[in-house]
Amino acid sequence: MGLLDQVLGAMGGQTGNPGQHGSLVDLAAGVLQNQGGVSGLLDKFRSAGLGQQADSWVSTGQNMPVSGDQVSSVLGSGAVERASQKLGLPPGAAAAALAAVLPMVIDHLTPNGRVEGSATGDLAGTLAALKSRLSSQA
């Protein structure tokens, strides 16, 4: 299953707009910035009892999934509501979209299996590469 298929599957196929995939990555970037970068976001997931999942996103192995409900719990309903408005999706679908894309973004920002200073330093370049990858799979 390709990267785009994973995102669309998690969203229940609720988006058919290829431009929206880039919006998902942009949204994930905004979440990262609002949560204190990669380390800040990972700490929030760990504090919520989702450390095993968060750590899997950094490791070089397979990413463990989280649900939209778990993302809503970690980020708060306000963040999910803002995501919902930006994407033009119901809150549950926006939470599912974030649940699908956040692990992939963290994984791409930590290619060596650890959070490094450069993990947030080249956020724009890494996210551009991820958007390109999503677009090529559309």
Domains of the chain and CATH, by start = 19-137 (1.10.10.690)
The pLDDT of residue 12 is 44
10-69 tens-digit pLDDT: 444 444 444 455 678 788 888 888 888 889 999 999 999 999 999 999 998 999 999 999
Query: For residues 53 and 68, is the Cβ–Cβ distance under 8 A?
Result: no
pTM value is: 0.75
Q: How far apart are the first and last CA of the chain?
A: 12
* Residue partners of 4: CB distance under 8 A and separation at least 6: 21, 134, 137, 138
The pLDDT of residue 80 is 92
The pLDDT of residue 133 is 64
The pLDDT of residue 91 is 92
60-81 tens-digit pLDDT: 899 999 999 999 999 999 999 9
The pLDDT of residue 136 is 61
Query: For residues 119 and 38, is the Cβ–Cβ distance under 8 A?
Result: yes
Residue 120 token pair:
């947030």
* Residue partners of 50: CB distance under 8 A and separation at least 6: 66, 70, 74
CA distance 22 to 87: 11
107-134 tens-digit pLDDT: 888 888 888 754 445 566 666 666 666 5
- What is the secondary structure of 7-51 as a DSSP string? HHHHTTT----HHHHHHHHHHHHHHHHHTTHHHHHHHHHHHTT-H
Kindly tell me if the per-residue pLDDT of 95 is higher than 50: yes
Look-up of token digits 């699908």: 100
